[in-house]
Amino acid sequence: MIGMMGDQAEGLRCLQAREGARIITVASGGNGVGKTSAVVNLAVALAKNGKDVLILDENPCHNNVCANLGIKARYDLLHVINRDKTLEQVILRGPEGISVLPAMRGVNSLAKLQPAEQERLIECFDNLRKPVDVVLVDAAAGSTGHVLSLSLAAQEVLMVLSPVASAITGAYALIKLMSREYAKRHFRILVNKAGSETEAKAIFDNVYLAAQRYLSVSPDFMGFVPLDNKLRRSAHLSRAVVEAFPASASAASYRKLAAGLERWPCTDDYDGGVENFMQRLIRSSHLGVTSSAF
């Protein structure tokens, strides 16, 4: 009877989570790992599966989601905060109907908002006309304070690694900071630009063993993306590889990743919804952590 009640409770909890949005912060320990490309391709793959996806983009304009998709952003979240534009006017539409919210300047200003401004911003997200199933937060690399606040506010953290040693050690340092200082326990690992599945799993195993031994954290392996010519070519075309070259190996990997994401188990400590995410993000933005925390 106890087992049956537990199963029913788990089912109810997952049902409640599906009624809100799945919030995932995508982070990396440094530049050049292909994090933004992963966000774009994962978003388009999810949209092709019928999901309404919103990307919150915290990257600078020269290498952000819009640049990767060949779309131009005239406004960002700061215009909403300053009441110059509505949230709907700032959000852009990308391939397969994905939504993109440029947010770098807005995220930078969250810690300075007065209570009335905070409430108004949260209400803007609560009143979004288009429903959102998944929010992918593309956190800018190299800004530990922002990565931290965006990660603590999210339901999940997806850490993108590449076979380069600095990318691996940088990602581990972020996991160490979030787990030891802020009790973050849910981490997923995506190995990008992998030469093979064997190489990707070896990289993950090293991170997993170190995290389990020294941090009491057990990251989950989300999968890997091979570096193929079609992925490079799609980037030059400012298109997602799953859209431009659907038969490529990298496109197949992203479709598999998107299908796996939808089966991720629910967490116990998260209240879903885009407006609740923004409320948590405003709160966590006051942490004031800088890169010196490394």
Q: Is the pLDDT of residue 101 over 80?
A: yes
Whole-number percent of the chain with pLDDT over 90: 66
Tell me what pLDDT residue 29 has: 87
Assigned domain for 112 exists: yes
Rounded mean pLDDT of the chain?
Answer: 87
Angstrom distance (rounded) from CA 78 to CA 113:
11
Work out how many domains the chain is built from and give that number: 1
Q: Is the pLDDT of residue 2 over 60?
A: no
Q: What is the pLDDT of residues 196-210, one digit of tens each?
A: 999 999 999 999 999
Cβ atoms of 26 and 39 within 8 Å: the answer is: yes
How does strand 220-226 pair with strand 187-194? parallel
- Average of per-residue pLDDT across 72-82: 94
Assigned domain for 172 exists: yes
pLDDT interval class at 11 (50, 70, 90): very low
Greater confidence, 202 or 286? 202
Q: Is the pLDDT of residue 7 over 60?
A: no
Q: Is the pLDDT of residue 26 over 90?
A: yes
Tell me what pLDDT residue 270 has: 62
Cβ atoms of 270 and 155 within 8 Å: the answer is: yes
- Average of per-residue pLDDT across 7-20: 43
DSSP 120-165: HHHHHHHT-SS--SEEEEEPPTT-HHHHHHHHHHSSEEEEEE-SSH
Tell me what pLDDT residue 267 has: 62
Assigned domain for 48 exists: yes
What's the domain range around 41? Answer: 20-285
Cβ atoms of 52 and 134 within 8 Å: the answer is: yes
Identify which of 171, 113, 129 has the alpha carbon closest to the alpha carbon of residue 147: 171
- Residue 165 belongs to a domain with what CATH number? 3.40.50.300
- Average of per-residue pLDDT across 63-83: 92
Q: What is the pLDDT of residues 209-258, one digit of tens each?
A: 999 999 989 999 999 999 899 999 999 999 999 999 999 999 999 999 99
Tell me what pLDDT residue 285 has: 86
- Average of per-residue pLDDT across 51-63: 88
Angstrom distance (rounded) from CA 171 to CA 160:
8
- Average of per-residue pLDDT across 25-37: 92
pLDDT interval class at 19 (50, 70, 90): low
Tell me what pLDDT residue 14 has: 43
Angstrom distance (rounded) from CA 126 to CA 109:
20
Assigned domain for 106 exists: yes
Assigned domain for 171 exists: yes
Q: Is the pLDDT of residue 160 over 60?
A: yes
Cβ atoms of 249 and 226 within 8 Å: the answer is: yes
